[in-house]
Amino acid sequence: MTEFGLIDYVAKLFQGVSHHGWESIGDDCTVLPIGGGEVLVVTTDMLQEGVHFLCHATSARELGGKSLAVNLSDVAAMGVKPVATLLSLALPAECCDEWAKEFVEGFHSLATEYDVALVGGDTTSSQSGVSINVVAIGRGRAECVKRRSAARVGDVIYVGGELGGSALGLKDILQGSVDSDYAALHRNPRPQVELGQWLGTRAEVHAMMDISDGLASDLCHILKLSHCGAQLEVNAIPAAGGDIETAVCGGEDYKLLFTVESDAAERFESEYREIFQQPIYNIGRITAADEPRICWSEDGVEIYPEWRGFTHF
C-alpha cells in the first residue's frame, strides 16, 4: 500500500464515526469552530531518525528547530497564527543529556521567535533511533481559513519562494558536503508563518497548502480536492540552482502554494510586493479537467515530463 493509499483507507474506515465538529482528514490541519467566529486548527508530523534526518549530519539544536518548523508550516498553510505546540520524544539509551537539552533549546528558540507556547507532550525511550512527534495548534478567524479544496478554474497559481533548495541540500549532505548553503537550508527550514497569516486575510486567495513533498505531488492534492487541473510553465518556477526537476520533485521546501482569483491577481501581486519586499512567483493556472492532472509547458510549448514528488513508501 502507498502512503496515500493507507491514508485513504484510514479516512474511509472512520467515515461512520462522529467528528464532533472537527473537519475530516485531508488538509494540512483539521479545523474546529470554537465560537465567536473563531477556529482552532491542529496538525501533527513525525520525524524519524534514518528517514527524516541523520544524527551525524544535523545538530540536535537544528533538529529541534526543524521539528517545530515543519509543523508551523502546516498551520501557516491554513492561513492562521500558530499558538501552541506539544512535543513527544522517544530517545535511545545512547542519546546523551547534552543532545536532548540542545534539541529542546533549538525547539524553544523557534517557539520563542514565533510566539508559540509548549503546552504538553510525552517522553519515552526508544529501541531504535530518535523519534520525534510534534503537534501544532493554530487559532484565527473562521473566514481566514484556506483549504486545499477551494481552488477555482481560472485561478492563478503562486508559490511563496524558491523550490528545490532543501533537496539539493540533502544531496550535498549524503555526498558528505554538510557545510554547503543548501545543506544548511535543508536543516533549517523557515516556515512562512507571516505570509500564511497575511494570505489568510485576503479573500482573493482561494486554496492554499505548504509544499513538503514536492510541487508535482502537492499541487495534485489541491487539484484532487478542488476537482480541477493545472497548467504550469516550467520557466516560471523559481528553481534553486536553476534545477527545475529538483524544484518540482524535491521535498521539504515548506513554501506556501496558493491560488488567487484571476481578476484580482494584478492588484494582489503589487500589494504583496509592497508588503513583503520580495518577488512573488506566478507559476500557472487552474484549469477545468476531469482528473487532477498537471499539464506542463516550457516557453508556452507543451512538454510531457515524468515528474513525481516524494512519497514515504
Instruction: List interacting residues with Mg ion (CB under 5 A).
Output: 28, 74, 210, 212
* Shortest Å, Cβ 26 to ligand ADP: 5
Region near ligand ADP per CB under 6 A, out of 24-32, 149-157, 233-241, 295-303: 24-32
* Shortest Å, Cβ 287 to Mg ion: 23
Binding partner of residue 25 among ligand ADP, Mg ion, none, CB cut-off 5 to 8 Å per kind: ligand ADP
Binding partner of residue 26 among ligand ADP, Mg ion, none, CB cut-off 5 to 8 Å per kind: ligand ADP
Decide: is 62 part of the binding site for ligand ADP (CB under 6 A): no
C-beta of 51 vs 275, nearer to ligand ADP: 51
Q: Which residues, 6 or more positions from 307, have their beta carbon under 8 angstroms from its beta carbon?
A: 216, 245, 248, 249, 296
Q: Which of 188, 212, 246, 259 binds ligand ADP (CB under 6 A)?
A: 212
C-beta of 95 vs 259, nearer to ligand ADP: 259
* Strand-pair partners of 120: 86
Binding partner of residue 7 among Mg ion, ligand ADP, none, CB cut-off 5 to 8 Å per kind: ligand ADP
Distances (CA, A) of 227 to 148, 153, 305: 11, 9, 22
C-beta of 45 vs 253, nearer to ligand ADP: 45
**What is the number of other CB atoms lying within 10 angstroms of the CB of residue 98?**
9
**Of 135, 166, 133, nearest in space to 47 by CA:** 133
Q: Which residue has the cell 517557539?
A: 111
* Shortest Å, Cβ 217 to ligand ADP: 9
* Shortest Å, Cβ 244 to ligand ADP: 22
Q: Which residues, 6 or more positions from 194, have their beta carbon under 8 angstroms from its beta carbon?
A: none
* Shortest Å, Cβ 74 to Mg ion: 4
Question: Pattern of binders to ligand ADP over 72-111, x per CB under 6 A?
Answer: --x-------------------------------------
Rg, C-alpha atoms of the chain? 19
Distances (CA, A) of 143 to 32, 38, 153, 161: 13, 8, 21, 25
C-beta of 30 vs 297, nearer to ligand ADP: 30
**Distance from C-alpha of 73 to C-alpha of 87, rounded to nearest angstrom:** 16
What are the grid coordinates assigned to 221, written together?
A: 492534492
* Shortest Å, Cβ 157 to ligand ADP: 18
* Shortest Å, Cβ 14 to Mg ion: 20
Decide: is 7 part of the binding site for ligand ADP (CB under 6 A): yes
Cα dihedral 219, 220, 222, 227 in deg (nearest 10): 140
Binding partner of residue 131 among ligand ADP, Mg ion, none, CB cut-off 5 to 8 Å per kind: none
Decide: is 25 part of the binding site for ligand ADP (CB under 6 A): yes
Where do contacts with ligand ADP occur on this chain (CB under 6 A)?
A: 7, 10, 25-28, 45, 74, 212
